[in-house]
Amino acid sequence: MARLRGCEFPSGLLYHPEHNVWLRAEDQDTFSLGMTAYAVALAGDIVAYTPKRAGSMVASGRSCAVVESSKWVGPVKTPVGGQVLAVNQAAMADPGLLNREPYSGGWVVRIRAQGWQGACAGLLSGAAALAALERNMEADGFTGCE
Amino acid sequence: MTCGPEDGLSELRQMLDRVEALQAVPLHEGLLRRLLPGALTDSATVYFHTPGFRGFESSEIRACGKHSWPAVSITGGDCELQCDHCRAAVLAPMTAARSPDALWRVVNGLVEQGGRGMLLTGGSNRRNEVCYQPFLGAIARIKRSFPDFRIAAHTGLVDEDAALALEQAGVDVAMMDVIGAERTLRRVYHLKRGVADFEASLAALAQTAMRVVPHVIIGLHYGHMLGEWQALRMIARHRCDAVVLVAAMPYHASPRRPFARPDPHLAGAFFLDARATLPDTPLLLGCARPAGLARRQIDSYAVLAGLSGVAHPAEGVVELAARLGRRVRVSSACCATFLLADTDLEDRHLLDLNLDAVLAHEAAARSRARPVRIPVAAVRA
Protein backbone atom coordinates (compact mmCIF):
# COMPACT_ATOMS: atom_id res chain seq x y z
CA MET A 1 0.00 0.00 0.00
CA ALA A 2 1.49 3.32 -1.10
CA ARG A 3 0.49 6.70 0.33
CA LEU A 4 0.50 10.10 -1.35
CA ARG A 5 -0.47 13.17 0.64
CA GLY A 6 -2.32 10.94 3.08
CA CYS A 7 -4.25 9.07 0.37
CA GLU A 8 -3.87 5.33 0.05
CA PHE A 9 -3.13 3.65 -3.26
CA PRO A 10 -3.09 -0.14 -3.00
CA SER A 11 -0.48 -1.96 -4.99
CA GLY A 12 -1.79 -4.57 -7.37
CA LEU A 13 -4.33 -2.22 -8.94
CA LEU A 14 -4.16 -0.46 -12.27
CA TYR A 15 -4.74 3.29 -12.25
CA HIS A 16 -5.90 5.84 -14.77
CA PRO A 17 -4.67 9.13 -13.30
CA GLU A 18 -6.60 11.36 -15.71
CA HIS A 19 -9.96 9.86 -14.79
CA ASN A 20 -8.76 9.29 -11.22
CA VAL A 21 -10.01 5.73 -11.10
CA TRP A 22 -8.58 2.31 -10.31
CA LEU A 23 -9.21 -0.92 -12.20
CA ARG A 24 -8.78 -4.50 -11.11
CA ALA A 25 -8.91 -7.42 -13.55
CA GLU A 26 -11.40 -9.99 -12.29
CA ASP A 27 -10.94 -12.57 -15.04
CA GLN A 28 -9.89 -12.64 -18.64
CA ASP A 29 -12.09 -9.82 -19.87
CA THR A 30 -13.87 -8.46 -16.80
CA PHE A 31 -12.71 -5.72 -14.48
CA SER A 32 -13.92 -3.80 -11.48
CA LEU A 33 -13.58 -0.02 -11.41
CA GLY A 34 -13.71 2.48 -8.58
CA MET A 35 -12.72 5.99 -7.59
CA THR A 36 -9.33 6.49 -5.98
CA ALA A 37 -9.05 7.77 -2.41
CA TYR A 38 -7.80 11.01 -3.96
CA ALA A 39 -10.89 11.27 -6.17
CA VAL A 40 -13.33 10.79 -3.30
CA ALA A 41 -11.39 13.28 -1.19
CA LEU A 42 -11.77 15.85 -3.95
CA ALA A 43 -15.50 15.10 -4.17
CA GLY A 44 -16.15 15.38 -0.44
CA ASP A 45 -19.00 13.54 1.26
CA ILE A 46 -20.79 11.65 -1.49
CA VAL A 47 -24.59 11.74 -1.17
CA ALA A 48 -25.64 9.98 -4.36
CA TYR A 49 -24.22 7.32 -6.66
CA THR A 50 -26.11 6.64 -9.90
CA PRO A 51 -24.47 3.99 -12.08
CA LYS A 52 -25.37 3.16 -15.64
CA ARG A 53 -27.75 0.27 -15.71
CA ALA A 54 -26.41 -3.27 -15.75
CA GLY A 55 -26.44 -4.52 -19.31
CA SER A 56 -25.84 -1.13 -20.88
CA MET A 57 -22.80 -0.35 -22.97
CA VAL A 58 -20.32 2.32 -22.07
CA ALA A 59 -17.63 3.68 -24.36
CA SER A 60 -14.04 4.25 -23.39
CA GLY A 61 -13.61 7.65 -21.76
CA ARG A 62 -17.32 8.01 -21.00
CA SER A 63 -19.31 8.00 -17.80
CA CYS A 64 -20.20 4.74 -16.12
CA ALA A 65 -21.75 6.44 -13.08
CA VAL A 66 -22.66 9.84 -11.72
CA VAL A 67 -21.52 10.79 -8.26
CA GLU A 68 -22.85 13.75 -6.29
CA SER A 69 -21.61 15.53 -3.21
CA SER A 70 -22.55 18.91 -1.86
CA LYS A 71 -19.65 20.50 -3.72
CA TRP A 72 -19.37 18.37 -6.83
CA VAL A 73 -21.48 16.44 -9.29
CA GLY A 74 -19.82 14.60 -12.09
CA PRO A 75 -19.14 11.40 -13.93
CA VAL A 76 -16.93 8.48 -13.05
CA LYS A 77 -15.29 7.76 -16.40
CA THR A 78 -14.03 4.39 -17.49
CA PRO A 79 -10.84 4.29 -19.52
CA VAL A 80 -11.92 0.93 -20.96
CA GLY A 81 -15.25 0.52 -22.70
CA GLY A 82 -17.56 -2.45 -22.52
CA GLN A 83 -20.77 -3.77 -21.05
CA VAL A 84 -21.76 -2.96 -17.50
CA LEU A 85 -22.14 -6.32 -15.78
CA ALA A 86 -22.86 -5.22 -12.23
CA VAL A 87 -23.45 -2.10 -10.21
CA ASN A 88 -22.97 -1.62 -6.50
CA GLN A 89 -26.39 -1.95 -4.88
CA ALA A 90 -24.94 -1.41 -1.41
CA ALA A 91 -23.45 1.90 -2.50
CA MET A 92 -26.74 3.00 -4.02
CA ALA A 93 -28.30 2.58 -0.59
CA ASP A 94 -25.28 4.03 1.21
CA PRO A 95 -23.26 6.31 -1.12
CA GLY A 96 -20.86 7.08 1.73
CA LEU A 97 -19.31 3.67 1.03
CA LEU A 98 -17.44 5.32 -1.83
CA ASN A 99 -15.76 7.62 0.70
CA ARG A 100 -15.18 5.05 3.40
CA GLU A 101 -14.10 2.06 1.32
CA PRO A 102 -13.02 3.32 -2.10
CA TYR A 103 -11.05 0.16 -2.91
CA SER A 104 -13.41 -2.46 -1.53
CA GLY A 105 -17.07 -1.95 -0.61
CA GLY A 106 -17.21 1.33 -2.54
CA TRP A 107 -16.48 -0.07 -6.00
CA VAL A 108 -18.41 1.62 -8.80
CA VAL A 109 -19.06 -0.87 -11.63
CA ARG A 110 -17.95 -4.18 -13.05
CA ILE A 111 -17.49 -4.16 -16.80
CA ARG A 112 -16.91 -6.81 -19.43
CA ALA A 113 -14.26 -5.10 -21.48
CA GLN A 114 -14.13 -4.75 -25.19
CA GLY A 115 -10.51 -5.49 -26.01
CA TRP A 116 -9.20 -5.58 -22.44
CA GLN A 117 -5.72 -6.72 -23.41
CA GLY A 118 -5.20 -3.75 -25.67
CA ALA A 119 -7.00 -1.21 -23.53
CA CYS A 120 -5.26 -2.02 -20.28
CA ALA A 121 -1.91 -1.21 -21.85
CA GLY A 122 -2.75 2.47 -21.32
CA LEU A 123 -3.19 2.03 -17.58
CA LEU A 124 -0.47 2.65 -15.02
CA SER A 125 0.68 0.77 -11.97
CA GLY A 126 3.36 1.09 -9.32
CA ALA A 127 5.76 4.01 -9.39
CA ALA A 128 4.55 5.31 -12.75
CA ALA A 129 0.98 5.58 -11.44
CA LEU A 130 2.08 7.29 -8.25
CA ALA A 131 4.19 9.81 -10.14
CA ALA A 132 1.27 10.72 -12.41
CA LEU A 133 -1.12 11.00 -9.47
CA GLU A 134 1.32 13.21 -7.60
CA ARG A 135 1.59 15.52 -10.61
CA ASN A 136 -2.22 15.78 -10.69
CA MET A 137 -2.35 16.53 -6.96
CA GLU A 138 0.19 19.29 -7.44
CA ALA A 139 -1.76 20.77 -10.34
CA ASP A 140 -5.01 20.63 -8.34
CA GLY A 141 -3.44 22.25 -5.30
CA PHE A 142 -4.63 19.20 -3.39
CA THR A 143 -3.81 19.47 0.29
CA GLY A 144 -4.35 15.85 1.17
CA CYS A 145 -6.72 13.16 2.32
CA GLU A 146 -7.96 13.68 5.86
CA MET B 1 -55.05 6.12 -34.69
CA THR B 2 -56.14 7.82 -31.51
CA CYS B 3 -55.92 11.53 -31.07
CA GLY B 4 -56.03 13.56 -27.87
CA PRO B 5 -54.53 13.52 -24.40
CA GLU B 6 -53.86 9.76 -24.29
CA ASP B 7 -52.15 10.01 -27.65
CA GLY B 8 -50.04 12.90 -26.39
CA LEU B 9 -49.14 11.09 -23.18
CA SER B 10 -48.02 8.08 -25.14
CA GLU B 11 -45.94 10.33 -27.37
CA LEU B 12 -44.35 11.92 -24.32
CA ARG B 13 -43.66 8.56 -22.68
CA GLN B 14 -42.00 7.31 -25.85
CA MET B 15 -39.88 10.42 -26.04
CA LEU B 16 -38.76 10.02 -22.43
CA ASP B 17 -37.84 6.40 -23.18
CA ARG B 18 -35.61 7.57 -25.99
CA VAL B 19 -33.42 9.40 -23.48
CA GLU B 20 -31.24 6.59 -22.15
CA ALA B 21 -30.32 8.39 -18.91
CA LEU B 22 -34.01 8.88 -18.07
CA GLN B 23 -35.29 5.41 -18.97
CA ALA B 24 -35.39 4.15 -15.40
CA VAL B 25 -36.72 7.37 -13.92
CA PRO B 26 -40.29 6.98 -12.69
CA LEU B 27 -42.47 10.00 -13.38
CA HIS B 28 -45.99 10.47 -12.05
CA GLU B 29 -48.61 9.75 -14.70
CA GLY B 30 -51.15 12.24 -13.41
CA LEU B 31 -48.55 14.96 -13.30
CA LEU B 32 -47.36 14.11 -16.81
CA ARG B 33 -50.94 14.62 -18.00
CA ARG B 34 -50.95 18.06 -16.40
CA LEU B 35 -47.58 18.88 -17.93
CA LEU B 36 -48.51 17.60 -21.36
CA PRO B 37 -50.02 20.72 -22.94
CA GLY B 38 -46.97 22.84 -22.28
CA ALA B 39 -44.39 20.11 -22.66
CA LEU B 40 -45.20 19.30 -26.26
CA THR B 41 -45.88 22.79 -27.50
CA ASP B 42 -43.40 25.07 -25.70
CA SER B 43 -40.49 25.81 -28.02
CA ALA B 44 -38.87 28.47 -25.86
CA THR B 45 -35.18 28.60 -25.08
CA VAL B 46 -33.98 26.77 -22.00
CA TYR B 47 -30.70 27.83 -20.42
CA PHE B 48 -28.55 25.26 -18.67
CA HIS B 49 -26.28 26.90 -16.14
CA THR B 50 -23.08 25.53 -14.67
CA PRO B 51 -21.76 28.09 -12.18
CA GLY B 52 -18.45 27.09 -10.66
CA PHE B 53 -19.50 27.27 -7.05
CA ARG B 54 -20.29 23.59 -7.38
CA GLY B 55 -17.98 21.45 -9.47
CA PHE B 56 -20.02 20.09 -12.34
CA GLU B 57 -19.56 17.85 -15.33
CA SER B 58 -21.93 15.54 -17.14
CA SER B 59 -21.98 13.53 -20.33
CA GLU B 60 -23.87 16.47 -21.87
CA ILE B 61 -22.00 19.49 -20.50
CA ARG B 62 -18.26 19.77 -20.03
CA ALA B 63 -16.60 20.99 -16.85
CA CYS B 64 -16.00 24.71 -16.90
CA GLY B 65 -13.54 25.27 -14.07
CA LYS B 66 -13.88 26.53 -10.55
CA HIS B 67 -13.05 30.13 -11.44
CA SER B 68 -16.16 30.51 -13.54
CA TRP B 69 -18.79 32.10 -11.31
CA PRO B 70 -17.58 31.06 -7.89
CA ALA B 71 -19.48 31.77 -4.70
CA VAL B 72 -17.77 34.17 -2.33
CA SER B 73 -18.78 34.44 1.32
CA ILE B 74 -18.05 37.59 3.29
CA THR B 75 -18.31 35.59 6.52
CA GLY B 76 -16.41 32.52 5.37
CA GLY B 77 -18.18 29.53 6.84
CA ASP B 78 -19.79 31.44 9.71
CA CYS B 79 -23.53 31.95 10.12
CA GLU B 80 -25.28 32.91 13.34
CA LEU B 81 -28.69 31.75 12.22
CA GLN B 82 -27.86 28.02 11.95
CA CYS B 83 -31.13 27.11 10.22
CA ASP B 84 -32.05 23.47 10.61
CA HIS B 85 -31.78 22.64 6.90
CA CYS B 86 -28.33 24.11 6.36
CA ARG B 87 -26.40 24.79 9.57
CA ALA B 88 -23.97 26.86 7.47
CA ALA B 89 -22.94 23.81 5.44
CA VAL B 90 -23.52 25.56 2.12
CA LEU B 91 -21.01 28.26 3.07
CA ALA B 92 -18.19 25.85 3.82
CA PRO B 93 -16.95 25.22 0.27
CA MET B 94 -17.24 28.86 -0.78
CA THR B 95 -14.32 31.21 -1.27
CA ALA B 96 -13.94 33.23 1.91
CA ALA B 97 -13.48 37.02 1.74
CA ARG B 98 -13.90 38.17 5.32
CA SER B 99 -12.70 41.72 4.78
CA PRO B 100 -13.15 44.35 2.07
CA ASP B 101 -9.47 44.01 1.13
CA ALA B 102 -9.86 40.25 0.85
CA LEU B 103 -12.90 40.69 -1.38
CA TRP B 104 -10.97 43.05 -3.63
CA ARG B 105 -8.09 40.57 -3.87
CA VAL B 106 -10.41 37.66 -4.58
CA VAL B 107 -12.12 39.49 -7.42
CA ASN B 108 -8.83 40.66 -8.89
CA GLY B 109 -7.69 37.06 -8.95
CA LEU B 110 -10.93 35.97 -10.59
CA VAL B 111 -10.70 38.66 -13.26
CA GLU B 112 -7.09 37.69 -14.01
CA GLN B 113 -8.26 34.13 -14.60
CA GLY B 114 -11.09 35.18 -16.87
CA GLY B 115 -13.89 35.25 -14.31
CA ARG B 116 -16.95 37.18 -15.42
CA GLY B 117 -18.92 37.30 -12.24
CA MET B 118 -19.60 35.82 -8.84
CA LEU B 119 -22.28 34.88 -6.40
CA LEU B 120 -21.75 37.09 -3.35
CA THR B 121 -23.19 35.90 -0.09
CA GLY B 122 -22.46 35.36 3.56
CA GLY B 123 -23.84 33.99 6.76
CA SER B 124 -26.66 35.85 8.48
CA ASN B 125 -26.91 37.45 11.85
CA ARG B 126 -29.74 36.34 14.10
CA ARG B 127 -32.10 38.72 12.25
CA ASN B 128 -31.42 37.00 8.90
CA GLU B 129 -29.42 39.99 7.68
CA VAL B 130 -26.12 39.67 5.81
CA CYS B 131 -23.90 42.50 6.95
CA TYR B 132 -22.70 43.99 3.65
CA GLN B 133 -22.22 47.50 5.00
CA PRO B 134 -18.42 47.26 5.53
CA PHE B 135 -18.06 45.78 2.04
CA LEU B 136 -20.01 48.39 0.08
CA GLY B 137 -16.89 50.42 -0.72
CA ALA B 138 -15.10 47.35 -2.01
CA ILE B 139 -18.09 46.34 -4.11
CA ALA B 140 -18.26 49.84 -5.61
CA ARG B 141 -14.52 49.74 -6.33
CA ILE B 142 -14.92 46.38 -8.03
CA LYS B 143 -17.71 47.66 -10.24
CA ARG B 144 -15.78 50.83 -11.11
CA SER B 145 -12.67 48.84 -12.01
CA PHE B 146 -14.40 45.93 -13.72
CA PRO B 147 -17.79 47.18 -14.92
CA ASP B 148 -18.48 43.99 -16.86
CA PHE B 149 -17.88 41.79 -13.80
CA ARG B 150 -21.36 40.73 -12.68
CA ILE B 151 -22.31 40.46 -9.03
CA ALA B 152 -25.35 38.48 -7.96
CA ALA B 153 -25.82 38.92 -4.21
CA HIS B 154 -27.89 37.00 -1.69
CA THR B 155 -29.11 39.94 0.33
CA GLY B 156 -30.86 38.36 3.29
CA LEU B 157 -33.49 40.63 4.83
CA VAL B 158 -33.01 44.30 4.02
CA ASP B 159 -34.71 47.58 4.69
CA GLU B 160 -34.99 50.31 2.07
CA ASP B 161 -31.66 51.89 3.03
CA ALA B 162 -29.78 48.61 2.81
CA ALA B 163 -31.38 47.79 -0.54
CA LEU B 164 -30.49 51.21 -1.90
CA ALA B 165 -26.92 50.86 -0.66
CA LEU B 166 -26.48 47.59 -2.52
CA GLU B 167 -27.86 49.16 -5.67
CA GLN B 168 -25.57 52.17 -5.37
CA ALA B 169 -22.55 49.95 -4.78
CA GLY B 170 -23.29 48.32 -8.12
CA VAL B 171 -24.79 44.93 -7.30
CA ASP B 172 -26.38 43.65 -10.50
CA VAL B 173 -28.77 41.01 -9.19
CA ALA B 174 -30.40 40.87 -5.75
CA MET B 175 -31.55 37.51 -4.49
CA MET B 176 -33.37 36.52 -1.32
CA ASP B 177 -35.17 33.46 -0.06
CA VAL B 178 -38.87 34.23 0.29
CA ILE B 179 -40.51 32.28 3.09
CA GLY B 180 -44.26 32.20 3.41
CA ALA B 181 -44.92 30.34 6.65
CA GLU B 182 -44.52 31.78 10.14
CA ARG B 183 -44.10 28.26 11.56
CA THR B 184 -41.15 27.62 9.25
CA LEU B 185 -39.52 30.86 10.34
CA ARG B 186 -39.90 29.97 13.98
CA ARG B 187 -38.89 26.33 13.82
CA VAL B 188 -36.50 25.91 10.89
CA TYR B 189 -34.93 29.39 10.94
CA HIS B 190 -35.20 30.04 14.71
CA LEU B 191 -36.10 33.55 13.61
CA LYS B 192 -38.07 36.10 15.59
CA ARG B 193 -39.21 37.89 12.48
CA GLY B 194 -42.33 37.36 10.43
CA VAL B 195 -43.43 36.65 6.89
CA ALA B 196 -44.24 40.34 6.58
CA ASP B 197 -40.55 41.17 7.03
CA PHE B 198 -39.74 39.02 4.01
CA GLU B 199 -42.34 40.76 1.90
CA ALA B 200 -41.09 44.17 3.07
CA SER B 201 -37.56 43.20 2.03
CA LEU B 202 -38.78 42.07 -1.34
CA ALA B 203 -40.62 45.37 -1.74
CA ALA B 204 -37.47 47.30 -0.82
CA LEU B 205 -35.39 45.41 -3.38
CA ALA B 206 -38.08 45.82 -6.03
CA GLN B 207 -37.85 49.61 -5.66
CA THR B 208 -34.21 49.62 -6.70
CA ALA B 209 -32.75 49.32 -10.17
CA MET B 210 -31.22 45.94 -9.36
CA ARG B 211 -32.54 42.84 -11.03
CA VAL B 212 -34.58 41.11 -8.36
CA VAL B 213 -34.59 37.32 -8.38
CA PRO B 214 -36.25 35.85 -5.28
CA HIS B 215 -35.86 32.18 -4.42
CA VAL B 216 -38.53 29.79 -3.18
CA ILE B 217 -37.29 26.69 -1.35
CA ILE B 218 -39.54 23.68 -1.94
CA GLY B 219 -39.84 21.46 1.11
CA LEU B 220 -38.37 23.99 3.50
CA HIS B 221 -40.48 22.79 6.43
CA TYR B 222 -38.41 19.71 7.26
CA GLY B 223 -38.84 18.41 3.74
CA HIS B 224 -42.55 19.14 3.58
CA MET B 225 -44.35 21.97 1.84
CA LEU B 226 -46.00 24.62 3.91
CA GLY B 227 -45.43 28.26 2.96
CA GLU B 228 -44.32 27.81 -0.65
CA TRP B 229 -47.62 28.89 -2.22
CA GLN B 230 -47.80 31.93 0.04
CA ALA B 231 -44.27 32.78 -1.07
CA LEU B 232 -45.43 32.74 -4.68
CA ARG B 233 -48.30 35.06 -3.84
CA MET B 234 -45.91 37.44 -2.08
CA ILE B 235 -43.61 37.46 -5.09
CA ALA B 236 -46.52 38.09 -7.44
CA ARG B 237 -47.22 41.38 -5.65
CA HIS B 238 -43.81 42.86 -6.51
CA ARG B 239 -41.62 43.59 -9.51
CA CYS B 240 -39.39 40.57 -9.92
CA ASP B 241 -37.26 39.79 -12.95
CA ALA B 242 -37.15 36.02 -12.48
CA VAL B 243 -37.80 33.50 -9.73
CA VAL B 244 -35.45 30.70 -8.76
CA LEU B 245 -37.04 27.53 -7.44
CA VAL B 246 -34.87 25.17 -5.41
CA ALA B 247 -35.62 22.16 -3.22
CA ALA B 248 -34.40 21.61 0.30
CA MET B 249 -31.48 19.21 0.55
CA PRO B 250 -31.80 16.81 3.48
CA TYR B 251 -28.08 16.20 3.88
CA HIS B 252 -27.06 18.91 6.31
CA ALA B 253 -29.79 18.62 8.94
CA SER B 254 -29.00 17.33 12.38
CA PRO B 255 -30.26 13.84 13.28
CA ARG B 256 -32.24 15.47 16.08
CA ARG B 257 -34.14 17.69 13.63
CA PRO B 258 -34.01 15.69 10.40
CA PHE B 259 -35.26 16.75 7.02
CA ALA B 260 -37.17 14.40 4.75
CA ARG B 261 -36.29 14.46 1.09
CA PRO B 262 -38.89 16.67 -0.63
CA ASP B 263 -41.24 14.67 -2.83
CA PRO B 264 -40.02 15.14 -6.44
CA HIS B 265 -43.54 14.76 -7.82
CA LEU B 266 -44.88 17.48 -5.51
CA ALA B 267 -41.98 19.64 -6.62
CA GLY B 268 -43.02 19.04 -10.22
CA ALA B 269 -46.60 19.98 -9.42
CA PHE B 270 -45.33 23.10 -7.70
CA PHE B 271 -43.59 24.14 -10.92
CA LEU B 272 -47.02 24.24 -12.56
CA ASP B 273 -48.46 26.19 -9.64
CA ALA B 274 -45.62 28.68 -9.91
CA ARG B 275 -46.17 28.95 -13.64
CA ALA B 276 -49.86 29.70 -13.04
CA THR B 277 -49.22 32.22 -10.25
CA LEU B 278 -46.44 34.01 -12.12
CA PRO B 279 -47.40 33.62 -15.76
CA ASP B 280 -45.13 36.38 -17.07
CA THR B 281 -42.07 35.79 -14.88
CA PRO B 282 -39.21 33.53 -15.97
CA LEU B 283 -38.88 30.55 -13.64
CA LEU B 284 -35.54 28.88 -13.09
CA LEU B 285 -34.49 25.72 -11.28
CA GLY B 286 -31.56 26.68 -9.07
CA CYS B 287 -28.58 24.71 -7.87
CA ALA B 288 -29.99 23.25 -4.67
CA ARG B 289 -32.06 20.10 -4.79
CA PRO B 290 -31.78 16.51 -3.60
CA ALA B 291 -29.32 14.28 -5.43
CA GLY B 292 -29.63 11.07 -7.36
CA LEU B 293 -32.97 9.82 -8.66
CA ALA B 294 -34.86 12.75 -7.10
CA ARG B 295 -32.71 15.19 -9.02
CA ARG B 296 -33.37 13.45 -12.31
CA GLN B 297 -37.09 13.49 -11.58
CA ILE B 298 -37.17 17.14 -10.51
CA ASP B 299 -35.06 18.23 -13.47
CA SER B 300 -37.24 16.31 -15.90
CA TYR B 301 -40.35 17.95 -14.50
CA ALA B 302 -38.66 21.35 -14.72
CA VAL B 303 -38.02 20.98 -18.44
CA LEU B 304 -41.47 19.52 -19.05
CA ALA B 305 -43.05 22.40 -17.13
CA GLY B 306 -41.30 24.87 -19.40
CA LEU B 307 -38.94 26.42 -16.88
CA SER B 308 -36.58 28.87 -18.51
CA GLY B 309 -33.39 27.60 -16.93
CA VAL B 310 -31.90 24.69 -15.02
CA ALA B 311 -28.67 24.89 -13.05
CA HIS B 312 -26.40 21.84 -13.05
CA PRO B 313 -28.83 19.67 -15.03
CA ALA B 314 -29.06 15.95 -14.35
CA GLU B 315 -27.91 13.48 -16.98
CA GLY B 316 -30.33 13.27 -19.89
CA VAL B 317 -32.15 16.51 -19.21
CA VAL B 318 -30.39 18.52 -21.92
CA GLU B 319 -31.23 15.79 -24.40
CA LEU B 320 -34.85 15.80 -23.22
CA ALA B 321 -35.07 19.55 -23.78
CA ALA B 322 -33.69 19.15 -27.30
CA ARG B 323 -36.11 16.34 -28.10
CA LEU B 324 -38.97 18.53 -26.88
CA GLY B 325 -37.95 21.13 -29.43
CA ARG B 326 -36.49 23.63 -26.98
CA ARG B 327 -33.64 25.85 -28.00
CA VAL B 328 -30.74 24.74 -25.82
CA ARG B 329 -28.25 27.24 -24.46
CA VAL B 330 -25.43 26.68 -21.96
CA SER B 331 -23.94 29.29 -19.67
CA SER B 332 -21.40 29.00 -16.89
CA ALA B 333 -23.04 31.98 -15.17
CA CYS B 334 -25.32 31.75 -12.15
CA CYS B 335 -28.91 31.12 -13.23
CA ALA B 336 -30.08 34.26 -11.41
CA THR B 337 -28.34 36.23 -14.15
CA PHE B 338 -30.87 34.83 -16.57
CA LEU B 339 -31.91 38.23 -17.82
CA LEU B 340 -28.31 39.30 -18.16
CA ALA B 341 -27.51 36.17 -20.08
CA ASP B 342 -26.82 37.83 -23.37
CA THR B 343 -24.41 36.35 -25.84
CA ASP B 344 -21.32 37.09 -23.80
CA LEU B 345 -22.57 34.82 -21.04
CA GLU B 346 -23.28 31.95 -23.37
CA ASP B 347 -20.68 29.18 -23.41
CA ARG B 348 -21.37 27.11 -26.48
CA HIS B 349 -18.12 25.20 -26.11
CA LEU B 350 -19.40 23.59 -22.90
CA LEU B 351 -22.10 21.63 -24.68
CA ASP B 352 -20.93 18.03 -25.12
CA LEU B 353 -24.05 16.69 -26.81
CA ASN B 354 -24.51 16.30 -30.53
CA LEU B 355 -27.79 18.13 -30.86
CA ASP B 356 -28.02 17.51 -34.57
CA ALA B 357 -27.85 13.77 -34.00
CA VAL B 358 -30.40 13.94 -31.19
CA LEU B 359 -32.81 15.95 -33.31
CA ALA B 360 -32.39 13.67 -36.30
CA HIS B 361 -33.05 10.63 -34.11
CA GLU B 362 -36.09 12.28 -32.56
CA ALA B 363 -37.50 13.29 -35.92
CA ALA B 364 -37.00 9.79 -37.28
CA ALA B 365 -38.62 8.22 -34.22
CA ARG B 366 -41.63 10.49 -34.51
CA SER B 367 -42.06 9.88 -38.21
CA ARG B 368 -42.02 6.13 -37.57
CA ALA B 369 -44.63 6.50 -34.85
CA ARG B 370 -47.09 8.67 -36.76
CA PRO B 371 -47.18 11.77 -38.92
CA VAL B 372 -45.17 14.36 -37.07
CA ARG B 373 -47.50 16.57 -35.07
CA ILE B 374 -44.92 18.77 -33.42
CA PRO B 375 -42.15 20.21 -35.55
CA VAL B 376 -38.73 19.89 -34.02
CA ALA B 377 -36.89 23.17 -34.08
CA ALA B 378 -33.59 23.31 -35.85
CA VAL B 379 -31.36 23.79 -32.88
CA ARG B 380 -27.69 24.61 -32.98
CA ALA B 381 -25.70 24.85 -29.80
Classified as helix, coil or strand, B311 is: strand
The predicted model gives B365-373 an average pLDDT of 68
User: In Å, how far is B54's CA from the nearest CA of chain A?
Assistant: 5
β-strand B211-212 against B117-121: which pairing, if any?
A: unpaired
- Taking contacts as CB-CB distances below 8 angstroms, the residues of chain B near A95 are 292
Report which DSSP code applies to B363: H
More confident residue, A44 or B375: A44
Question: Which of B54, B293, B296 lies closest to A71 in CB terms?
Answer: B54
β-strand B45-49 against B55-56: which pairing, if any?
A: unpaired
- Taking contacts as CB-CB distances below 8 angstroms, the residues of chain A near B64 are none
Chain B residue whose CA is closest to A95: B292
Going B144 to B145 to B150 to B151, the CA torsion angle's sign is: negative
B63–A74 C-beta distance less than 8 A: yes
- Taking contacts as CB-CB distances below 8 angstroms, the residues of chain A near B249 are 70
User: In Å, how far is A62's CA from the nearest CA of chain B?
Assistant: 7
Q: How far apart are CA A15 and CA A21, in angstroms?
A: 6
In tens, the pLDDT along B235-276 reads 999 999 999 999 999 989 999 999 999 999 999 999 999 999
Smallest CA-to-CA distance from A89 within A66, A108, A73 is with A108
Q: What is the pTM of this model?
A: 0.91
Residue A133: count of CB within 10 angstroms of its CB:
23
- Taking contacts as CB-CB distances below 8 angstroms, the residues of chain A near B23 are 53
In tens, the pLDDT along B344-363 reads 667 778 888 888 889 889 88
Please name the residues in contact with B198: beta carbons below 8 A apart, sequence gap of 6 or more.
B157, B176, B178, B179, B180, B234
Pick among A19, A69, A73, A76 to test the B interface (most B CBs inside 10 A): A73
- Taking contacts as CB-CB distances below 8 angstroms, the residues of chain A near B24 are 53
Please tell me the least confidently modeled range out of A49-63, B16-30, B356-370: B356-370
The predicted model gives A2-20 an average pLDDT of 95
Confidence band, pLDDT 50/70/90 cuts, at residue B341: low
Residue type, A46: I
Please tell me the least confidently modeled range out of A98-102, A139-143, B15-19, B314-318: A139-143
Q: Which ranges in chain B belong to alpha helices (H)?
A: 5-17, 29-39, 100-112, 136-145, 160-169, 182-187, 195-206, 228-236, 264-277, 293-304, 317-323, 355-369
Chain A residue whose CA is closest to B315: A66
User: In Å, how far is A53's CA from the nearest CA of chain B?
Assistant: 9
In tens, the pLDDT along B296-339 reads 999 999 999 999 999 999 999 999 999 999 999 888 888 777 66
pLDDT of A139 above 80: yes
What residues of chain A have any CB closer than 8 angstroms to a CB in chain B? 44-45, 47-50, 53, 56, 62-63, 66, 68, 70-75, 95
Q: Are B277 and B238 in contact (CB under 8 A)?
A: no
In tens, the pLDDT along B162-176 reads 999 999 999 999 999
Provide the chain B residues 61-120 that lie in CB contact (below 8 A) with chain A: 63, 89-90, 93
Chain B residue whose CA is closest to A74: B57
Question: What is the number of residues in chain A?
Answer: 146
pLDDT of B376 above 60: no
Confidence band, pLDDT 50/70/90 cuts, at residue B378: very low
Confidence band, pLDDT 50/70/90 cuts, at residue B42: confident
pLDDT of B5 above 60: no
